[in-house]
Amino acid sequence: MERFITSAMEWLPYLARGLVTSIELAGVAMVLSLSLGLVLAAAIQIGGRQLRVTARTYIEITRGIPGLAMLYIVYFGLPSIGIVIQDAFWAAGLALGLTGAGYMAEIYRVGLESPDRGQHEASLAIGMTRISSLRYVILPQAIPVIMPAATNMALDMLKDTTLATVISTPELMQHALLLITFSYRPLEIYILTALLYLAAGLPLSALTHWLARRARRGRLMADFGPGRPGLRQS
């Protein structure tokens, strides 16, 4: 045990640097997912038929293939059609972001479709514009649904950054593997690595639970509100 602690002290700074890269990578991928996902969701909600079909196809494909396949395609595949991304970090960020966008688009969609369609129709009927209906009626109900799903996705993204180790991105898992080749003590280093992932993931997980609880409570209040005599039941 004592031996483990002294070694752990030696390893920690190096592993922590890897963790920082992991978090940065997850951040880059999340920004791409959030923005590209929004574009996809908008294309489905307000786009024409062709745009809708394109967006749906993109979503189905990215949701249907493993993240690893996307990584290999971006890092080893794109160069063969002339697009070379030198830095493994950015290649991994792009690949994870492209995959994440498909998931994020679905999260937006479910959120936007969670208020009953009648509400949108009703707000149009009382003379609201489409924009103000979205702004004052749909979004206030959609956002509580979207938020916990998005933080949960950020947690998944943090986990999926481990995949980037296959293209040698210097993130936490890669740092752990390098340490192991020098020290020959895999078990201890893997456990330490796991603890670091936990340390980074727990706050995100707690945030997700908190947001989900809040959203549930909000929904409960709405169900008891005026015009709704009680909980919806079968």
Q: Given the rule CB under 8 A, which residues bind another protein?
A: 60-61, 63-69, 72-73, 76-78, 80-81, 155, 158-163, 165-166, 173, 177, 180, 185-187, 190-191, 193-194, 197-198, 201-202, 204-205, 216, 219-220, 223, 231-234
Specify the residue, 133 or 193, whose C-beta has the smaller distance to another protein.
193
Structure letter (DSSP) for residue 168: T
Specify the residue, 46 or 73, whose C-beta has the smaller distance to another protein.
73
- The interaxial angle of helices 2-46 and 49-64, nearest 10 deg, is 160
Angstrom distance (rounded) from CA 37 to CA 35? 5
Kindly state the smallest distance separating residue 90's Cβ from another protein, in Å.
18
Kindly state the smallest distance separating residue 132's Cβ from another protein, in Å.
28
Kindly state the smallest distance separating residue 128's Cβ from another protein, in Å.
27
Specify the residue, 75 or 89, whose C-beta has the smaller distance to another protein.
75
Specify the residue, 26 or 28, whose C-beta has the smaller distance to another protein.
26
* Contacts of the segment 168-171: beta carbons below 8 A, 24+ positions apart: 168/88, 169/21, 169/25, 169/88, 169/89, 169/91, 169/92, 170/18, 170/21, 170/88, 170/89, 171/18, 171/19, 171/21, 171/22, 171/25, 171/92
Kindly state the smallest distance separating residue 7's Cβ from another protein, in Å.
14
